[in-house]
Amino acid sequence: MSQSIVFPSYPSVTILVAYYQGLESEKLNEIKSQVLAKNPEYDFCFLSPACIVSQDQLRSSLYKAVQNMVRGTMRANTVNTEALFGLSPVNNLNEAFKRFGIDTSRSDLVVVKILTKEKNTEATQQEDNEEMIKQVDEKLQQLLGSSPVEMTDEKLFAGADLARFRKLFKLADSPENTPETYSQAAIAGALLRGM
Domain that holds residue 168: 3-191
pLDDT for 174:
84
CATH number at residue 24: 3.30.2380.10
The one-letter amino acid at 103: D
pLDDT-derived band at 124 (thresholds 50, 70, 90) equals low
What is residue 165's DSSP assignment?
H
pLDDT-derived band at 171 (thresholds 50, 70, 90) equals confident
Q: What is the mean pLDDT of residues 181-195?
A: 84
Contacts of 123-127 with C-beta under 8 Å, sequence gap 24+, read 125/6, 125/11
Ramachandran angles phi, psi of 87, nearest 5° = -80, -20
pLDDT for 118:
62
Ramachandran angles phi, psi of 174, nearest 5° = -140, 140
pTM over 0.95: no
Domain count, the chain: 1
Q: What is the mean pLDDT of residues 48-69?
A: 96
Beta carbons within 8 Å of 112's beta carbon, 6+ residues apart: 15, 16, 17, 44, 45, 47, 58, 62, 80, 83
What is residue 106's DSSP assignment?
S
- Looking at every residue in the chain, the average pLDDT score rounds to 90
Q: What is the mean pLDDT of residues 108-130?
A: 75
**Which of 5-9, 127-131, 179-183 has the least mean pLDDT?**
127-131
Q: pLDDT at residue 125 above 70? A: no
Contact 191, 61 (CB under 8 A): no
